Chain A
C-alpha cells in the first residue's frame, strides 16, 4: 500500500473503483461532479467495467440506482445539496425497498441565498429517510468508508442504503495524503459482486415497494426498517474492526480525541472536527482541559456509545454546522434527548451553531466555546444556544446592505 495525494472527490472515486461498482447513474452538481468525471474517465480508458448512464435529474438518478440495486448489481451514485433534496422522495422509497446502495453526498449549503460552500443541512434533511449516514473527516476516511459502506449496506442483517458524506471544499477539493488499499486487500474485505439469489432475477418476477393499507402492515415494514438501522450499529463496529485488522485503520461509530480526561468536550461531525482537534491541542496549552467526540455515524445514532463517552463530564459543547429554523442545532437536540434519562449525564450541555455556508470556525471561536461551557458547568446552568457571529462580520454585512440599498432608517431596528 502506498500513500498518494488525493482530493476527497478523488478518494470517493477510488472507493467506488475498489468496490468494483457495476452501475453508475449520474447527474452533475458542484461540488460533487469531479467524482463522476473521474470515474467516467476510468470507464472510458477501460480501467473499470462499469455501466455509466447520465440521467435527466437526481430524482431519476436515485430511482435508477435503487432499481439497479434491487437486481443485485453493485451500484454507486453521488450528489450534493439541492440535488439530494430534489431526489428526496426516492431516498425514502429506495430505503423502503431494503436494497443495498451507496450514495456519496458532498455537503453544500442549501439555497436561498445560493452558495457553493458546505454545511450539513443538505445531508441532515435526509436523516429520517432510512438511509444510514456515515460522515467523513479526512480524505483517507472517504476511501475507507466507501468499502465499509458497501459491506454494511449489503449485510443481510442490515440491507439498507448508505449515504457517505464528505464536506464540499474542505474535503472535496482538498488534497491530503491517502493510503489506497490495493485491489487485493479491498476485495478481501469487500468481495467482487456476485449474483445474489435473493434479488430480482430474470424469469423469477417479484414485486417490490408494494402497497399496504390499514396501518398495521405498514407499521411492520417501517418498524423492521428501524430495527435494521439500529442493528447496523454493531455490524458497523464489527466491520470497522475487521477492516482495521486488514489495513491498520480501525473504524468505529465515534472518534474520541483527548476526551477521556477532559472536563469540557466538543461534539461535532465532519471535516471541521479536525479543526477541533487542532483547537484541543492548542487550548490544552493554555490549561483548558478540552477534548473532542466526533460522530462518524449519524444514522444509526450511536446513543449508548455517546452516553458512555460523555458520562460524568462537567461540560459538553455541541457544535452544529446546521440550523433547524425555529429549533436550533439538530445534533444538540439529538444528543440531549439521548442523555436526558441518564443519571451520569454531563452537568451542562451547551449549543453552538457555526460553519454555515462554509463560515470558518476559528481557534478564537473554539476558545470562546470552551470557556463559556466551562463557566456554565461551574455555575450549573447553560447559556442560551449561540449563533456564532462576530461584530466584524456584522460590520461587513452592513457595508453590503448599503450596496444592496437596504433601508437605512431601519438599520439595527429590533422588533
Chain B
C-alpha cells in the first residue's frame, strides 16, 4: 500500500490535491481512499489530507501516522508543531515541498535525515495559482506509476467546474511539475509491514470533578493560542499615511489591532489571522499586505 500525507493551509487546495492524486491512482487501477482532516476549519489554519492506494481492498482507516511520502504546500507549516508535518517521518520518507528555496535550506534548518525535494509553482496568467494540481503532479512524479495521461484526466475530473482556460492552466501546471521531477521518478518506497507492539494501556483513575470536568479555569487562555500562524497574508500599517481614524481597530474581528493614546494602531501579529478586513476598511489606504513566508533567522 502507498500512504501519502499532504499538508497545507485551509484554502490552499490540499483536499483537491489529494483528490486529484486519488483519482489518478484510481484511473491506474488502484483501490483508493482519500480524505481531508481539518483542525480549526478556518482559511489559513493548518490542515492535511491523505491518500491510500493499494492493489487490494483497503481496510485501514483514519489518519496516516507512518507515511511513505509527505507533501507540503506551504513551508511555513514545517516549523509549526501542531501542523504535524514531520510526524512519523523516517530517513526513507521523501519530503516534497512547494517552495522557491533550495532543498539544503530545509536539511540544515530542521536537521532532516530524509530526502527533501523542492518544486516551484509554474507561473500563471490568473490570480488563482494552480497549487493543488502542481502538488498532485509533483507527488505523481515521485510515485512513478501514474501516467501523464491519467494525471491529466484526474485534474480534468476533479476540476471540471472550472472555466476551460483555468482548467487547462491547471493541467499544464500538473504536467510541468511532473516533467521537472522525472529525475526522482519512483523514489517513494512502500513501507515494509511494521511489527505490532503491545498497547501501553493504563487504568484511568477516578478524579474529582474540579479536575475531570471539561473546564478552562482561567480567563483569556485563548491568548496562548497563536492564531497568527494561520495568516498567509500579513497586513502592514504605514503610520506616516495613517490618519488615526480607528477604523481598523473597530473592524478587526479578532481584536488584534490596538490604538495608542494618539489613536495610532499596532497589530498583534500573534493573533492577527490575516483576514485583511483592516486593509479593506482603511480610508487612508495606509495598510498593505505581503505574503507570509517562513522567516529566516
A contact residues vs B (CB 8 Å cutoff): 5, 7, 112-113, 169-170, 173-177, 271-272, 274-275, 277-278, 281-283, 286, 360, 362-368, 371, 386-392, 394, 401, 403-407, 410-415
Contacts and interface: CB of A to CB of B under 8 A. Distances in A.
A391 to B, nearest CB: 5
B138 interface: no
Interface of B: 19, 22-23, 26, 31-37, 58-63, 193, 196-202, 204-208, 210-211, 214-218, 221, 224
B198 A413 contact: no
18 contacts: A5-B34, A170-B61, A174-B33, A176-B58, A360-B62, A360-B63, A368-B198, A390-B199, A391-B202, A404-B215, A404-B218, A405-B216, A405-B217, A407-B211, A407-B217, A410-B211, A412-B205, A412-B207
A175 B35 contact: yes
A282 B193 contact: yes
A277 B216 CA distance: 40
A362 B19 contact: no
A394 B204 contact: yes
A281 B215 CA distance: 42
Contacts of A113: 214
B199 A414 contact: no
Nearest to A404: B216
Contact of B207 (A173, A389, A410): A410
A401 B211 contact: yes
B64 to A, nearest CB: 11
A411 B214 CA distance: 15
A283 B202 CA distance: 22
Nearest to A281: B59
B205 A414 contact: yes
Contact of B61 (A272, A281, A371): A272
Nearest to A272: B61
B215 A367 contact: no
Contacts of A367: 196-199
A414 B197 contact: no
| Chain A interface SS verdict (over half) | mixed
Contacts of A404: 215-218, 221
Nearest to A365: B199
A360 B201 CA distance: 14
B204 A274 contact: no
Contacts of A406: 210-211, 215, 217
A386 B201 contact: yes
Contacts of B200: 390-392
A357 to B, nearest CB: 11
Contacts of B26: 5, 177
Contacts of B23: 5
A175 B62 contact: no
Contacts of B206: 414-415
Which of B32, B37, B199 is most buried by chain A, counting CB atoms within 10 A of its CB? B199
Given A177-B32, A368-B201, A390-B199, A407 B210 contact: yes
Given A367-B196, A391-B202, A410-B208, 11 more contacts: A5-B26, A7-B35, A175-B19, A176-B32, A176-B33, A271-B61, A364-B197, A389-B204, A394-B202, A413-B208, A415-B207
A298 B236 CA distance: 58
A228 B179 CA distance: 63
Nearest to A363: B196
B32 A112 contact: no
A112 B207 contact: no
A386 B199 CA distance: 13
Contacts of A286: 196
Contacts of A272: 61
Given A406-B210, A407-B210, A364 B224 contact: no
Contacts of B34: 5, 174-175
Nearest to B26: A5
A173 B35 contact: yes
Given A169-B35, A389-B201, A406-B210, A278 B60 contact: yes
Contacts of A403: 216, 221, 224
Nearest 9 interchain pairs by C-beta: A278-B59, A113-B214, A174-B35, A405-B218, A405-B217, A368-B199, A364-B199, A404-B216, A277-B59
Contacts of A410: 207-208, 210-211
